[in-house]
Structure 1
Amino acid sequence: MEKKEVIPMKLINLEDGFHLMVSAYIGFHEVNLLVDTGASHTCFDKERLLMIPGIDEYDIEVIDKSGTGLGTNTMESAITHLEDLTLGNFMMEDYPAIVINMSHINESYALLDIPPIDGVIGSEYLKYFNAVIDYKNLELILTQPED
């Protein structure tokens, strides 16, 4: 029997569109994440990630290749392994996540009086859990893969 998890989403009204947000946890620390089907990988803002107890600069390893996206042409990126990342009751341990500078997004959000984001849930996570976005009910529906 498939195990499903329904995650409530918030619809953030921007001047020219909408963003979908979910709450997740890194350890016991709640994080605010943008649901982004166009993002290849789940990533976190370096500055906000370092505010989480137990995560230090030495946990983040700079990688050689630069990435594109999130409103910039190039960005330096790094990787870390989160002890765990939890959405609803689905926890992934030793979760590899990209770490980038998202200050430009949070600065834009601040101008619109929108709370800052800690990161982005990317398509690798959404695909793993066969995610379905229900816009009518503002729900992210995840299905636990059978191992």
Structure 2
Amino acid sequence: MKPFELPFQIFKILDQGYHIAVTVNINALPARLLIDSGASHSVFDKSRISYFLPNFQVNESPLMAMGMGDDLEPFLLKVRDFEIGKRKFPKYQATLLDLSALNQIYSRFYDEPIHGILGCDLLMKLKANLSYKKKTLKWKDWKKPFQVRSVAPGAEHLMATLKIQKQKANMLIDTGSSSTIFDLNLFKQFYHYEAQQLKRSDQPSAGIASTAQSFGSVTIPRLTFGPIGLTNHEMLFIDLEHINSLYAKLGLPPIDGLLGNDLLFMLQASLNFKSKCLRLPLSS
């Protein structure tokens, strides 16, 4: 997969000055952000954010977006659906500022307003490459090498290490599994749940042998899985001892779960068996 490129616009300010801007999506609505590496944090215009978030709530910010001016009063806001290109930032904590002075200048030259500033925080997260020659903002997708584990002569499993709640998890990549499933016992190292929270599930993941296996599920309010955030996600659990006992005999570390098609689709993943890479364009 090629690096993702997003064209930016060039706005001429006065005789020899320029601003560059890129179009992003806030709640699936297009928004124009100035690209400003001199701003320590990205900000949205306080007077225009209601167009994207009609029922927004703000908190006072203890931080200033350095580079934006010391006389501006900032506020914090969580944006649930914020997207740059195909890169999503779930529950991004944005800073709100009054950008009316900036838009007054723009109104002299251009009809369309500026909705915010794309600052150094997101440019760093994107590991962006800003090309003035090509007039593009470019970044690469996120890729993780997967391991090929031999479980028998001519029989192999694909493994990838992803982070769950900032802790490493060994996931068996299983495109034959309709849903992602975690080990009933090992998952507690990532998210602790009480036994009474576990509900019996009569609809196991298709592709997983269910004989003599008891499936259960727990609705988890918030969970980070690799580069995405999951909210109120119903997680499936099963005792994976039948797999991990085999792994133990082979001297292999245990698996924490099976990465199935539900999250592979959500991650917009691609598997490259030649380069042995799991590519996830939706990193954060």
**TM-score, length-scaled by structure 2:** 0.45
- Residue 9 (structure 1) aligned to one of 146, 151, 154: 146
SS at 1:108 equivalent: helix
Inter-partner Cα distance in structure 2 for 1:130 and 1:66? 23
Instruction: Tell me which residue corresponds to 1:115.
Output: 253
Is residue 131–residue 141 contact of structure 1 (8 Å, CA) maintained in 2? yes
Shift of 1:53: 5.4
Query: How many residues matched?
Result: 143
Inter-partner Cα distance in structure 2 for 1:90 and 1:66? 23
Structure 1 letter corresponding to 2:193: I
Stretch deviating more after TM superposition (125-134 or 45-54): 45-54
Inter-partner Cα distance in structure 2 for 1:126 and 1:67? 14
Structure with larger Rg:
2
Distance change >3 Å, CA 38–CA 68, structure 1 → 2: closer
SS at 2:218 equivalent: strand
Structure with bigger strand share is 1
Do residues 125 (structure 1) and 209 (structure 2) align?
A: no
Shift of 1:28: 2.8
Distance change >3 Å, CA 85–CA 34, structure 1 → 2: farther
- Residue 24 (structure 1) aligned to one of 141, 162, 187: 162
Q: Which segments of 5 or more consecutive residues in structure 2 lack a partner in the other structure? A: 1-84, 88-140
Shift of 1:133: 0.4
Give a deviation string over 1:37-63, Cα, whole Å, max 9, x none: 000100101011134453332332222
Inter-partner Cα distance in structure 2 for 1:128 and 1:68? 17
SS at 1:50 equivalent: helix
Instruction: Tell me which residue corresponds to 1:85.
Output: 224
Structure 2 letter corresponding to 1:7: K
SS at 1:99 equivalent: strand
Q: Which segments of 5 or more consecutive residues in structure 1 lack a partner in the other structure? A: none
